[in-house]
A and B are shown apart, each in its own frame.
Chain A
Amino acid sequence: MSFSTVDFTLADGRDLVYLLVAIGFILALKGLSSPRGARRGNLIGAGAALVAIAMTFTDPAMRDHVAGVSHGLNLALMLIAMALGAVIAVPAARKVKMTAMPQMVAIFNGVGGGAAALVSITEFLKFPHGSVAVYKIFEVIFGVVVGCVSFSGSAIAFAKLQELMTGRPVTYPGQQAINAFVGAAIAALVVATLVTASVPILVVVLVLGLVLGVIFVLPIGGADVPVLISLLNSFTGLAVAASGFTLGSNLLIVAGTLVGASGILLTRMMSKAMGRSLPNILFSAFGSVITAASATGGDDRPVKSGTPDDIGVLLAYARKVAIVPGYGLAVAQAQHVARELADTLAARGVEVYYAIHPVAGRMPGHMNVLLAEANVPYDQLKEMEQANPEMPTTDVALVVGANDTVNPAAKTTPGSPIYGMPIVNVDQAGAVIFLKRSMRPGFAGIDNELLYDPKTTMLFGDAKDSLQKLVAAVESA
């Protein structure tokens, strides 16, 4: 390859712009980690990405004449693919319901992992035969395997959150043996690919990478899925970094590594907010099955269930009511009705506030987004730390579709999977009302003693229906 002076200038200029783009991404991440700078950070990131994409059209690959390559066709296909991507992604991202955000993130993350894997394997096809350094093959394999795990793992995570399949941990006989077999097969074939640089073997590795993603994610269920998505997000970052190594692109290495490193830290912060360790989340499926099984033993005890009218009266004549929203409220899209009930109570002079657990909803911070969407007044939102001191003076705690985040076992039962997790202390309120679909335990798969407490009343049913009935009951009380 020979460059004219003009080419050198352009190439240097392009690399300089890519450097500025990389700095833009760092500033974007920094902005996103503080409430004040979050939105601007995201816009900086988007602007930087746009600049990088525009700059890439000046890449020599776009115009160098290589025998057998018709650039017109390639460029046309590129523009079609980009336009198609934008036409699909923008409406999908704009129209998605706030409650469905997590699975949307999972999908966008998965396709990114798929793209990184495709970059690596396509570059592999272009390698000249017999003259490739082993580390170059290793970069390709790493990109392919990690990208594929992220792709298929995100797809399963999407299916779980979208309720296309059960959200509970999936376990089956011989699971560990199968996992070990797939792991060993990949390791063996990676070595074979390194030695032979064979395309068919790499294709088998790719397929096994997809299988690995599926079997890695299946045993992870419920509230742990968001943490898993964060981890897969980090994986995609690493796969992108690997494809950056293959392409010799500083920008992809920096961007991918930034996401890979910050993603792992974020994953650990998320699991800490849930009072769990990351290995516990990833590999505890067998344990959780056992606790779920032992938890079902206590189902025969009596629980008190009330009618909407009874509970409406209780709420209407209370002085102070705490609404404790959880996953069930998100699923039932009940945030607007919850606000309606709060407004109705407030109109009667009842003091109402929302007590929000950091991991309430489907992801950390998700509940704040949902309630903001329903225009809940800011002064009624209380984070767990502010809400807990108010609990002893609260007459009624209305728990809407939450369970594990209010389970006193987190404080009282060492050995419980959620022991040590901070909870909203609804057990200290005068009376507790649970709006729940059934007596089924929460995601942690453990029983909640509070459900059997004499001061607890259950109202079974869909959170939205129940809240609507309560609004009517309060209005007529």
Chain B
Amino acid sequence: MTVGIIELLTIFALAAFVGNEVISKVPSVLHTPLMSGSNAIHGIVLVGTMVVLADAHGPAELILGFLAVLLASLNVVGGFVVTDRMLEMFKAKPDPRPARSEAQAPDAGAAGGSATTPGGPQP
């Protein structure tokens, strides 16, 4: 698979414009999840690390390839999971009903551990 440098540069240039266009208007509330989500997307370098490790020769390349696959797996898996957790918190938000804690408590409990508040007098 030998692809010419010009073809690759073409793809690079077009992708750069798409990257710039696609997130033109982001509300500041979503800056953090968007950063985290795009962080997960570059974790796709895992695909490259897999190919590198697959045809690694000798101990040096094997060790480097192994480390690369490990680091990239952390990036891609952790990235998507952590973004999903952030966005999980937003799920209740767009619901304009003044939902008090009863309605939301089971949700928060499922989201993880100590999210349900201890006590606190209910209005």
B88–chain A nearest beta-carbon distance, Å: 7
Q: How far is the CA of A233 from the CA of B42 in the complex (A)?
A: 9
Q: A41-B37, A86-B73 are in contact. Are A270 and B43 (CB under 8 A)?
A: no
Interface of B is mostly: helix
Q: A28-B41, A53-B50, A118-B71 are in contact. Are A340 and B117 (CB under 8 A)?
A: yes
B53 contacts A52, C-beta separation under 8 Å: no
Q: How far is the CA of A56 from the CA of B3 in the complex (A)?
A: 18
Which residues from chain A contact B86 at a C-beta distance below 8 Å?
101, 369
Which residues from chain B contact A30 at a C-beta distance below 8 Å?
22-23
Q: A270-B31, A344-B121 are in contact. Are A68 and B57 (CB under 8 A)?
A: yes
A363 contacts B89, C-beta separation under 8 Å: no
Q: A33-B22, A94-B81, A262-B38 are in contact. Are A365 and B15 (CB under 8 A)?
A: no
Contact count A vs B, C-beta below 8 Å: 422
A85 contacts B39, C-beta separation under 8 Å: no
A81 contacts B53, C-beta separation under 8 Å: yes
Chain B 12-40: CB-based contact to A (< 8 A → 1; otherwise 0) = 10011111101111111111111111111
B1 contacts A49, C-beta separation under 8 Å: no
Interface of A is mostly: helix
The interface on chain A, measured as residues whose beta carbon lies within 8 A of the other chain's beta carbons, has a size of 129
A266 contacts B82, C-beta separation under 8 Å: no
B87 contacts A119, C-beta separation under 8 Å: no
A263 contacts B26, C-beta separation under 8 Å: no
Contact partner, A105, options B39, B98, B113, B122, Cβ 8 Å: B39
B50 contacts A255, C-beta separation under 8 Å: no
Where the two chains meet, the residues of B that have a C-beta atom closer than 8 Å to any C-beta of A are 1-3, 5, 8, 11-12, 15-20, 22-58, 60-62, 64-101, 104-105, 108, 111-113, 115, 117-123
Given contacts A125-B61, A243-B45, 11 further A-B contacts (CB under 8 A): A38-B33, A38-B34, A49-B46, A78-B66, A84-B70, A241-B15, A363-B32, A364-B31, A365-B32, A375-B101, A378-B96
